[in-house]
Structure formats: structure tokens, C-alpha cells
Amino acid sequence: MSRGDGLRNGEVAPGISERWLAQHPYVGGLLEEWPPERVRQVLDAVLELWGCLDLTTAIDWRWNPRLRTTAGRAVFLDMLIELNPLLLARHPEEMEGLLVHEAAHLVVQRLHGRQAPHGEHWKAYMRRAGQSTRATHQLDVRGLRRKRKARRARPRRATTKVEQLLRKLLQGGAGPR
Ligand SMILES: [Zn+2]
């Protein structure tokens, strides 16, 4: 199994190409401060604290330069943690808490199955690690939002009788959960 500690062709850090870094040189400080060994140290330390250090080989991580205002995310299918290099370059002090936050998501999913993303299980792991149970960040995302393309308003299509009937029927029943 591949782990984030390994680099692919042309990468200077997991998920970061030399070319991308040349275009975003201010991320260099973050990458220096957080080399793969340090990321793995934090992950291992918290996994050990949670009594599931054996999961370290299953958990992978990488930077994802396409993330915008999300600081990081857990990709359950791949047991993968993705980190936002642009946002974290502004807030390197958030790295440790974020790694624990995302690791907790993966551990909860692996050991307790599907749960509410920031539910009681997740909060319990965060508390055990001495971390905040706040689910959202309040970091400086100026300039990171996706630029909105001007969308042309589409003319509303007139609803047919059948559609009106269907809508009525659907509104009557219990909504999807
Ligand atoms: Zn979360």
C-alpha cells in the first residue's frame, strides 16, 4: 500500500508538483515546516493515543492544491487525508489540529462504521486528543473561493400536468432522509 510519505514523478511533496510550487512559491515555507516525516509523526502519535496505531499503514495523506476553502478532508474509500496547501500556508499553526481532525474521521469510519461526520464518536476522539470539537474553521479564505462564472438564466420550462401531479404526490409522503 502506498503511503503519502512517498513521492510520485515530478513531485516535491506528496501531491505537489515542482511546477505548481514554482507558481505558488509562498507554499514552500509550509512544505519545509511540514515534511512527510512530521505529518506521519503527528498521525502516529494520535493513533497511538487512540490505541489504533495499527491503522497507520492504512492511512494515506497528501496535499491537494485543488481544495479551495476546505482546510482538509478525509476520503473514506481510500483512507486518505487531503490537505489544502494554499490555505495552510497562511495558517501553518492549524496543521496539527487539522491532521487529528481528519484522522478522527477515518478512524471513526473504520472502527464504528458510518456515523454523523462530526457526531459523538468523532467528538470523543477529538477530546481524547485534547483537540477542539469545532467542525468548521474560521481561517482566512480571501482569494481562495472559486470564481463564479456568470450564468445565463435559463428560461423556466412550463410544468406539465403530470409533473404537477407527481409533485403533489411526493409532497404528501415522508421526505427522503
Ligand atoms: Zn470534519
Q: State how far Cα 94 lies from the chain centre.
A: 13
Residue ranges and CATH numbers for the domains of the chain are 11-128 (3.30.2010.10)
Task: Pull the grid cell for residue 3.
Answer: 503511503
Whose CA is closest to 84, among 125, 34, 129? Answer: 34
Tens digit of each residue's pLDDT (9 = 90 or more) over 116-171: 989 999 999 999 999 999 988 889 899 998 776 666 666 666 667 777 777 777 77
Side chain identity at 40, as an amino acid letter? R
Distance (angstroms) between ligand 1 centre and the Cα of 83 equals 12
More confident residue, 99 or 2: 99
Q: How far apart are CA 77 and CA 81, in angstroms?
A: 11
The Å distance, Cα 129 to ligand 1 centre, comes to 15
Structure letter (DSSP) for residue 44: H
| Rounded Cα–Cα distance for residues 55 and 13 (Å) | 22
Question: What are 173's three cell numbers?
Answer: 409522503
Contact between residue 46 and residue 98 where contact means Cβ atoms under 8 Å apart? no
> From the CA of 15, how far away is ligand 1's center (Å)?
21
Mean pLDDT of 24-33: 98
Whether 50 contacts 66, CB under 8 Å: no
Confidence of residue 26 (pLDDT cuts 50, 70, 90): very high
Distance 171 CA to ligand 1 centre (A): 32
